[in-house]
Amino acid sequence: MLLAIGWAPRSAGGAPAAAPPLPSGVAVRPAGEGGIAVVADADPAVAARVAVDAVVALVRQGGRRIGVGAAPASDDDAPVLLGARRALAAATRRPARLAVRGTDPAASADAQAVLTALAVLLARRSPAAWAAADLLTAGATRAAVAAELGVSRQAVAQRLAAGLWDLEQELRPTAVRLLSRAAG
């Protein structure tokens, strides 16, 4: 499966959007004012998980339009790149500035809805909630997170609740499944 994630400044003519640190397994190329990250893996679930992680990294950095193209694996990456470009153009008109275009239009629309919800959730997360979420993602226990941040376990729980950590954990695997389907 091939997935391409394109990004550009939120508005045309904005400053060029450099690539943020993206997950391993992502090939990044400059493209116009932004870039294109290509994810290729024989296992659709792995490719989709890496793509969702890349989208999360782009959303977290902020100030971008994001377009995701999805297509079956092939020797020619033109269809997936075209999908990413079309999605990037469509993202201009979307509330969270994120769009998905793939081989399966219905699955693409579903993936777009879930990724948009995830993007809105992440864009509204406070720095304190990010700090707790980052430590949990790295494998720390909630008690260890509290100790690392110098707060109580109750404060960690409040930060995670305010940052909608549990909802993010539900949306990510759903986005992975839907992106896999969007590639056809």
pLDDT digits (tens, 9 = 90+) for 38-96: 888 778 888 899 999 989 988 998 888 899 998 887 777 788 888 888 998 999 899 88
Residue 80: what pLDDT? 84
**Chain center to CA of 139:** 20
With 0.85 as the threshold, say if the pTM is over it.
yes
Strands (E), the chain: 2-9, 26-31, 34-40, 64-71, 98-102
CB 135 within 8 A of CB 145: yes
Q: Which residues does 142 contact at the CB level (< 8 Å), separation at least 6? A: 136, 153, 156, 157, 160
Tell me the domain boundaries of the chain. Answer: 2-104, 127-162
Token readout for 34 is 């932004």
CB 108 within 8 A of CB 182: yes
Q: Are strands 34-40 and 2-9 parallel, antiparallel or unpaired?
A: antiparallel
Token readout for 146 is 């509290």
Distance in angstroms (rounded) separating the CA atoms of residues 52 and 59: 10
Which pLDDT band, with edges at 50, 70 and 90, does 19 fall under? low
Q: What is the number of alpha carbons within 13 Å of residue 1 lying toward its C-beta?
A: 23
Residue 47: what pLDDT? 87
Residue 150: what pLDDT? 97
Mean pLDDT of 160-181: 96
Which pLDDT band, with edges at 50, 70 and 90, does 28 fall under? confident
**Weakest mean pLDDT among 3-12, 77-86, 98-107, 141-150:** 3-12
Q: At residue 16, does pLDDT exceed 60?
A: no
